[in-house]
Amino acid sequence: MTRSPPAVRFGLGIAGVVVLGLAWHLATTLQLVPRVFLPSPEATWKALQRGLSVGDMANQFGGTVQRMLLGWLLASIVAIAIGSLIGISPLARAYLRPTLGFLRALPASATIPIAIALVGLSPTMVLAVVTFGSIWPTLLATVQGFAMVEPRLIEVSRALHMSRLAFIWKIGLPNALPDILTGMRLSMTVALILAVIGEMLAAQSGLGQAILLAARSFRTPDLYAGIVLLGLIGAVSSYGLQLVERRLLRWKSH
């Protein structure tokens, strides 16, 4: 099956957003859902404009993006470093696989009470939770990528007496890069979710806190405006990472 050109896929994506907006407008116009629960797109757009121009939504947007990116970057650096060391050793992979599986299955939100007890309701707590929760997709993807390195390349590295660091840098990472980038995209999504949850629980300035306060005061246009911004953050970050992935993996198509 041939893939559609990028312009066609982009057009289909825009068409999907338009259809969703029309369905939203129709549902509110026909009052299929009470306005107190589902505001119109026009009311949401006005709330978004007001929040960005005269309100605090721009600062809240920046706070959420900063927490998400910082936690994701820290998690990615640690995950790639540790995953590389584990991935080059079959013994380490076999020994640590049950532990990694247990930690990966542990919901990151369940660690929030522990983080609160250790560092309190602070920005450090939110950053720690975001980093811990988003580390696992990249870490496991890195380990998997190193485990799938062609055995002949391993034999070549041994014949050349390459050090472990040289093997990681020259052979391991280039071959594991597709898996690593896929894990980083998953980690980015987890980081956004945890940043929002952390803001809600720790009362840190951000879109998470803004959405929570809007829901408590029944300001549904402001609530949906915050949700739209969160969706925008997720879409832009995912699309941006896909562009980076295509550029970095261009050599695989040759």
CA trace torsion 118, 84, 105, 178 (10° rounding): 130
Q: Which residue has the higher pLDDT, 126 or 9?
A: 126
Express as a percent the part of the chain with pLDDT over 90. 35
Instruction: Say how far apart CA 190 and CA 103 lie, in whole Å.
Output: 15
Mean pLDDT computed over 115-141:
87
Nearest to 37 by CA among 197, 231, 224: 224
Mean pLDDT for the chain overall: 86
- Per-residue confidence at 5, pLDDT binned at 50, 70, 90? low
Q: What is the mean pLDDT of residues 39-65?
A: 90
Between 152 and 209, the more confident residue is 209
Which range among 3-12, 26-35, 126-135 shows the weakest confidence by mean pLDDT?
3-12
Tokens linked to 142: 């890195």
- Does the pLDDT at position 60 exceed 80? yes
What does the pLDDT average to over 212-233?
92
CB 206 within 8 A of CB 56: no
Which tokens is 110 given?
A: 């369940």
Specify the pLDDT at position 252.
62
Domain ranges (residues) in the chain:
57-249
Chain centre to alpha carbon of residue 222: 24
DSSP string covering 40-67, please? -HHHHHHHHHHHHHTSSHHHHHHHHHHH
Whole-angstrom distance, CA of residue 202 vs CA of residue 200: 6
Structure-model confidence comparison of residues 71 and 116, the more confident one: 71
CATH of domain 57-249: 1.10.3720.10
Looking at residue 1, its pLDDT comes to 46
What is the rounded CA–CA span in Å between residue 245 and residue 249?
A: 6
**Is residue 191 scored above 70 in pLDDT?**
yes
